[in-house]
Structure 1
Amino acid sequence: MRGLEHHLPDPAKRIEGVDYIQCDVLEDDLADAIRGCDAVISTLGVSFTPSTAIDPPPLYTEGTRRIVEAMGRVGIDRIAVISAAFVDQQAGVPSWFRLTVVPALANILEHMRAMERMLEAEQGLKWTAARPGWLIDLPYSGEAQVKARTLSTDCFRCCHADLAALLLDSVVSGRWIHEKPAVGKPEADDLEGLLALREELESLHLRRDR
């Protein structure tokens, strides 16, 4: 197993059995780095900050395109990527989130839609575009509900580890090919409210500024 990283993790945080390769998905030739792999799981994403909300870097669009092109050169036809449930309207999303956060994410979500359209247009590519709810950094629950395209009722949030499990399962099992599975699970009220969002965004800004 290989992990392509823009910034290599500290040795203490590396996973045993993973070969880490440093690269820039927007600049480097990725073909040699993925040669011999059976599938690619792309976890490309951008943080939600004022600057990225206004002008997102083209990781979803150009980055994914470059990965797919490299896959074609080395004979890999299976990829799973991260999109977002909110690229489509979600009936179970709280109104405060739908009316405030989703519009703020508009430019990022449009990049995700463009990525999905690009994958759909690729001939012979076996793709999966996972659509998590609002991500939360909690351990694997094993209770995530997965549904085609839209979140299940009351499944507004998604644990990072549950999303990772869906991505891994999709490439190992062959499920969700040419599909956009939405994944999430109900959480406690104090993790689904406006205050929780504010605290998480403040935490992101603090980590970014250090």
Structure 2
Amino acid sequence: MRTILIIGASRGIGLETVRRALDQGYRVRAFARSASQIPITHTELTKVNGDALRAEDVAAAVKGVDAVIETLGAKASLAMVTSHTRLFSDATRILIQSMESAGVKRLISVTGFGAGDSRQHMSLLQRLPFELLLGRVYADKAVQETIIRRSALSWVIVRPGILTSGPRTGRYKILDKPADWRNGTISRADVADFLVKQIEDDAYLGSKTPALIG
């Protein structure tokens, strides 16, 4: 049985990924500052309280795992609009260093549609409010993607569209060609389904950065 570390596991996509990975028969190590409050009980679930910006916490969590799924998120706040953030890039640097030291190769990381070269595929109507509300966050996500690309890991970068709380449908679209990239909505549960599939699937390793929409 493979052991999967999920970073940012206490809510959102991370929590849905914990559920899906357990359903698919993986042993899950759920890492978050409030991991002890995760509302799931399972014999193959270990809850690890830790800070993604503390190298010692991450290094301890990474030891002995077979793959890492990074699902960091930021709560909506005024600071997201007015201040620069380095949460995603700094946490990813720490994670990659820890993985390389521990010999863990596979990293599946969620950024979002609008990060990196996907931003130019947004319509003008979408881009204006996006830049105002999320521009600083996604600028750091773009740095995060660059750090991952430059690493020696076997990586998958996943860019979901606008997230909803809907159920898992399995009928989402995987847009892996830049000419097809577009924004749309997708449930967190469907994103989690795709993330867990990447533990075994090599189709998107190291080059494609698929966008996901429902």
TM class, shorter-length: 0.7 to 0.9
Look up the match of 1:8.
35
Whole-angstrom CA distance in 2 between matches of 1:173 and 1:3: 21
Secondary structure of the 1:41 match is strand
Secondary structure of the 1:158 match is strand
Letter of the structure 1 residue corresponding to residue 129 of structure 2: T
State whether structure 2 residue 69 is matched by structure 1 residue 41.
yes
Whole-angstrom CA distance in 2 between matches of 1:58 and 1:153: 26
State whether structure 2 residue 136 is matched by structure 1 residue 110.
no
Secondary structure of the 1:171 match is coil
- Asked whether the equivalents of residues 86 and 102 of structure 1 are also in contact (C-alpha less than 8 Å), the reply is no
Write the mapping of 1:88-107 to structure 2, written as runs, cut at 5 A: 88-89=118-119, 91=121, 95-107=124-136
- Asked whether the equivalents of residues 85 and 136 of structure 2 are also in contact (C-alpha less than 8 Å), the reply is no
1:49 is displaced (CA, Å) by 2.2
State whether structure 2 residue 171 is matched by structure 1 residue 171.
no
Task: Provide the TM-score with structure 1 as the length reference.
Answer: 0.78
Whole-angstrom CA distance in 2 between matches of 1:148 and 1:154: 11
Gaps of 5+ in 2: 1-27
- Asked whether the equivalents of residues 46 and 56 of structure 1 are also in contact (C-alpha less than 8 Å), the reply is no
- Asked whether the equivalents of residues 81 and 132 of structure 2 are also in contact (C-alpha less than 8 Å), the reply is no
**Which one of 34, 41, 52 corresponds to residue 80 of structure 2?**
52
Whole-angstrom CA distance in 2 between matches of 1:159 and 1:152: 20
Deviations 1:113-146 (A, max 9, x none): 1011111111x31111100101111111111100
- Asked whether the equivalents of residues 80 and 134 of structure 2 are also in contact (C-alpha less than 8 Å), the reply is no
Whole-angstrom CA distance in 1 between matches of 2:181 and 2:148: 27
Look up the match of 1:145.
173
Deviations 1:17-64 (A, max 9, x none): 210110011124122212111110011121232212322542210001
Q: Highest CA radius of gyration, 1 or 2?
A: 1
Look up the match of 2:105.
77
Percent pairwise identity: 21
**Which one of 149, 152, 166 corresponds to residue 120 of structure 1?**
149
Whole-angstrom CA distance in 2 between matches of 1:154 and 1:62: 28
Look up the match of 1:20.
47
- Two-structure CA RMSD over aligned residues (Å): 2.1
Whole-angstrom CA distance in 2 between matches of 1:132 and 1:35: 28
Secondary structure of the 1:172 match is coil
